[in-house]
């Protein structure tokens, strides 16, 4: 220890540090090596001296004369007993380390009524080598891991029928329970989830984790298990919200701001990969606003190299403050395991889905834009004088829609939304979808070579036309379809362009003729055997009679095709 430390008395001057230190013999010898040119008289005429000991340079101030001798500049011995560190109010005592060693000296003094107690001193050395540095994510894990749960359940699937079982001989041989008959088979599903509301018992997970489940159970990190009901499923974002039955003393995670993430930020992925139990992996944010991942259509994913494996779906991606920044959803892999390319849904989108569930809605209410956008090409960008093809071109505007009401026009180029740049229609759609209904968003638009601001008031898509769902029966390639009249609300739900013609496929019965010929949800049926279809009821008339062949014209993904099927 550099100095013998013992509390002696409380200094009367409030402008001085409340501590005094008795010097031992070795300490006194060290003080004698000080800059004695600054000392006058019996160590008390001036402000003090600078004493160097064990690599620490300090100002030393005398308070009393006493027993320990010292030598002044003339070589005369002077008595000295005590010194203290002088401290001006509002200032901190400074310790200047030399270059060879860094030592922090902490002095503490505890006073009790009538007597002083022993003061504490502690010296810590700053690590000089990498081997001496200890890093740990344990505090973050301890804060967040109790909020990450295991989601599991069962779904019933039907095995395909063996065509040989249509023959009576095979049926007699194998019996009605033969290997070829359709049989219900229970499939187990396993994934992860995150508690986002402890009071309401809400858990957010991926839609693909619980899709088709007939029962859902949730196991907490402390081994408690609860049944759960599905409050809301949103295939567009691949998110779902569950409610735990009778759960108490839950630990909810704080929702962070995914928009504040930067490439290179440290993140942790917490989940239940391969069903082995809760697992934590670490990595960085590799990229932001990733699209074309193939999950949902409101795409702006966080990319990370934190290991995400099967079973991690629905788990948490957390920042170093222990806040939820994303829901782990997908990976790119040829082997099925992690190769360092994982994707998470940003917490900004998670917040929208959770807020919708809290209102009691079974679907997510989204704002309707009322315009169709196209990506900005390099040629168009060059013609507009832009340095790069970043933005979205307005291809069409729906009359009386929010975009039209705000003044947006065809051929406008949208560059930013509320000051945040949007490089393509996908990033615009994500930013727009995270804005609350009823608010007004400001679009930065390039029109005629000038940048202008277009305000757009966000409102839900209207049901301008009754849906009138019709399920097609009979024996035709359309049997098993449920078709709807198209409206802005239906187009928004199915993520298709609004059209004034045709009826839209809202659902397809599994194993039906319509499913076998290849119809897809969201297909727009424009004509059957040359007759235009503009209302859902018209498809009943068009498919009532049996025909040897059927010609159908559909629109899918912006392309119109005509196909012929046998009767």
pLDDT digits (tens, 9 = 90+) for 374-406: 888 888 888 888 888 888 999 888 888 899 999
Region 247-264: what's the mean pLDDT? 92
| Token output for 498 | 């609004």
Whether 259 has a pLDDT exceeding 80, the answer reads yes
pLDDT for 277 equals: 82
Whether 543 has a pLDDT exceeding 70, the answer reads yes
Whether 365 has a pLDDT exceeding 70, the answer reads yes
Poorest-confidence range of 55-69, 243-257, 384-398, 483-497?
55-69
Higher pLDDT, 437 or 123: 437
Region 80-108: what's the mean pLDDT? 37
Region 23-42: what's the mean pLDDT? 43
Terminal C-alpha separation, the chain? 98
394 forms bridges with which residues in the sheet?
373
| Token output for 482 | 């449920």
Region 37-65: what's the mean pLDDT? 41
Instruction: Give which of 324, 332, 373 is closest to 353, Cα–Cα.
Output: 324
pLDDT for 73 equals: 55
Instruction: Give which of 232, 208, 203, 231 is closest to 218, Cα–Cα.
Output: 203
Q: Is 235 exposed, middle or buried (CB count within 10 Å of its CB: 0-12, 13-18, 19+)?
A: middle
Region 228-240: what's the mean pLDDT? 92
At 283, the pLDDT band (50, 70, 90 cuts) reads: very high
Q: What does the pLDDT look like over 70-89, one tens digit per residue?
A: 455 566 655 444 333 333 33
Strands (E), 115-164: 115-116, 120-125, 148-158
Whether 557 has a pLDDT exceeding 80, the answer reads no
Higher pLDDT, 199 or 300: 199
At 172, the pLDDT band (50, 70, 90 cuts) reads: very low
Higher pLDDT, 383 or 219: 219
Q: What is the mean pLDDT of the chain?
A: 74
pLDDT for 444 equals: 94
pLDDT for 293 equals: 66
Mean pLDDT comparison of 223-232, 292-301, 492-501, 512-521, highest-scoring range: 223-232
Region 422-433: what's the mean pLDDT? 88
CA distance 507 to 494: 11
pLDDT for 156 equals: 62
pLDDT for 110 equals: 38
Give yes or no for a contact between 122 and 128, defined as CB atoms under 8 angstroms apart. Answer: no
pLDDT for 239 equals: 93
Give yes or no for a contact between 365 and 353, defined as CB atoms under 8 angstroms apart. Answer: no
Region 541-566: what's the mean pLDDT? 80
Whether 180 has a pLDDT exceeding 70, the answer reads no
Domain 142-244 classification at class level: mainly beta
Poorest-confidence range of 161-165, 319-323, 455-459?
161-165
CA distance 441 to 505: 32
Strands 202-206 and 239-244: antiparallel
Q: What does the pLDDT look like over 325-361, one tens digit per residue?
A: 999 988 777 666 677 888 999 999 999 999 999 988 8
Higher pLDDT, 406 or 493: 406
Region 397-420: what's the mean pLDDT? 90
CA distance 73 to 71: 7
Domain assignments of the chain as residue spans, ordered by start: 21-130, 142-244, 367-460, 470-566
Whether 25 has a pLDDT exceeding 70, the answer reads no
At 542, the pLDDT band (50, 70, 90 cuts) reads: confident
Instruction: Give which of 252, 283, 253 is closest to 268, Cα–Cα.
Output: 283
Give yes or no for a contact between 347 and 255, defined as CB atoms under 8 angstroms apart. Answer: yes
Q: Indicate the CATH number for domain 367-460.
A: 2.30.42.10
- Tokens 């942790």 sit on residue: 268
Strands 450-457 and 440-447: antiparallel
Which residues does the annotation mark as catalytic? 208, 238, 313
Fold: same for 367-460 and 470-566: yes
Helix H or strand E encompassing 367: strand 367-368
Whether 324 has a pLDDT exceeding 80, the answer reads yes
Share of the chain above pLDDT 90, in %: 26
CA distance 27 to 83: 11
Whether 234 has a pLDDT exceeding 70, the answer reads yes
pLDDT for 281 equals: 92
Could you tell me the CATH superfamily of domain 470-566? PDZ domain (2.30.42.10)
Residues 6+ apart with CB under 8 A from 440: 455, 456, 457, 458
Poorest-confidence range of 124-133, 156-165, 405-414?
156-165
Whether 96 has a pLDDT exceeding 50, the answer reads no
Share of the chain above pLDDT 70, in %: 67
Poorest-confidence range of 34-48, 260-274, 367-381, 436-450?
34-48
pLDDT for 58 equals: 44
Strands 323-331 and 254-255: parallel
Region 182-211: what's the mean pLDDT? 84
At 24, the pLDDT band (50, 70, 90 cuts) reads: very low
- Tokens 């599903």 sit on residue: 189
Q: How far is CA 310 from CA 283, 518, 548, in A?
A: 17, 29, 47
Give yes or no for a contact between 290 and 299, defined as CB atoms under 8 angstroms apart. Answer: yes
| Token output for 56 | 């620490």
């Amino acid at each position: 220890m550099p100095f013998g430390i013992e509390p002696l008395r409380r200094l009367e001057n409030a402008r001085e540090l409340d501590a005094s230190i008795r010097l031992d013999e070795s300490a006194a010898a060290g003080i004698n090596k000080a800059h004695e040119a600054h000392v006058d008289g019996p160590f008390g005429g001036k402000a003090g001296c600078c004493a160097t000991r064990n690599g620490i340079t300090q100002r030393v101030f005398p308070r009393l004369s006493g027993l320990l001798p010292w030598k002044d500049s003339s070589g005369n011995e002077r008595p000295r007993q005590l010194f203290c560190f002088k401290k001006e109010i509002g200032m901190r005592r400074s310790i200047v380390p030399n270059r060879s060693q860094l030592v922090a000296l902490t002095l503490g003094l505890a006073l009790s009524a009538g007597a002083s107690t022993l003061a504490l001193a502690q010296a810590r050395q700053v690590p000089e080598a990498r081997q001496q540095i200890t890093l740990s994510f344990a505090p973050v894990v301890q804060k967040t891991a109790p909020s990450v749960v295991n989601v599991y359940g069962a779904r019933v699937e039907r095995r395909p029928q063996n065509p040989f079982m249509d023959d009576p001989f095979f049926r007699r041989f194998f019996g009605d329970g033969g290997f070829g008959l359709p049989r219900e088979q229970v499939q187990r599903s396993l994934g992860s989830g995150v508690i986002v509301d402890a009071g309401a018992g809400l858990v957010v997970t991926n839609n693909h984790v619980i899709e088709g489940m007939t029962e859902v159970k949730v196991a907490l990190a402390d081994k408690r298990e609860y049944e759960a009901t599905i409050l809301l499923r949103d295939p567009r974002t691949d998110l779902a919200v569950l409610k735990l039955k009778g759960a108490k003393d839950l630990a909810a995670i704080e929702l962070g701001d995914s928009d504040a993430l930067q490439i290179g930020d440290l993140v942790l992925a917490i989940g239940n990969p391969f069903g082995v139990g809760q697992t934590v992996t670490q990595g960085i944010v590799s990229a932001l606003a990733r699209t074309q991942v193939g999950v949902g259509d409101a795409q702006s994913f966080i990319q990370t190299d934190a290991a995400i494996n099967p079973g991690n779906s629905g788990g948490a991606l957390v920042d170093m403050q222990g806040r939820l920044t994303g829901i782990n959803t997908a990976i790119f892999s040829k082997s099925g395991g992690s190769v360092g390319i994982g994707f998470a849904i940003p917490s900004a989108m998670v917040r929208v889905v959770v807020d919708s569930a809290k209102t009691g809605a079974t679907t997510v209410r989204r704002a309707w834009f009322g315009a169709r956008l196209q990506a900005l090409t390099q040629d168009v960008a060059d013609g507009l004088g832009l340095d790069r093809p970043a933005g979205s071109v307005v291809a069409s505007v729906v009359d009386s829609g929010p975009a039209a009401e705000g003044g947006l026009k065809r051929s406008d180029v949208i560059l930013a939304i509320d000051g945040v740049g949007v490089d393509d229609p996908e990033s615009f759609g994500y930013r727009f979808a995270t804005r609350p209904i009823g608010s007004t968003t400001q679009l930065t638009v390039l029109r005629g070579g000038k940048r202008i601001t277009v305000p757009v008031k966000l409102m839900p898509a209207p049901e301008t036309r009754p849906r009138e769902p019709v399920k097609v029966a009979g024996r035709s390639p359309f049997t098993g379809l449920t078709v709807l009249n198209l409206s802005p609300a239906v187009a928004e739900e199915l993520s298709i362009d609004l059209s004034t013609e045709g009826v839209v496929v809202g659902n397809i019965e599994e194993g039906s003729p319509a499913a076998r010929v290849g119809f897809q949800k969201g297909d727009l049926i424009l004509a059957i055997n040359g007759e235009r279809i503009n209302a859902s009821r018209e498809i009943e008339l068009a498919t009532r009679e049996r025909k040897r062949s059927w010609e159908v014209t559909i629109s899918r993904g912006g392309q119109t095709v005509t196909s012929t099927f046998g009767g």
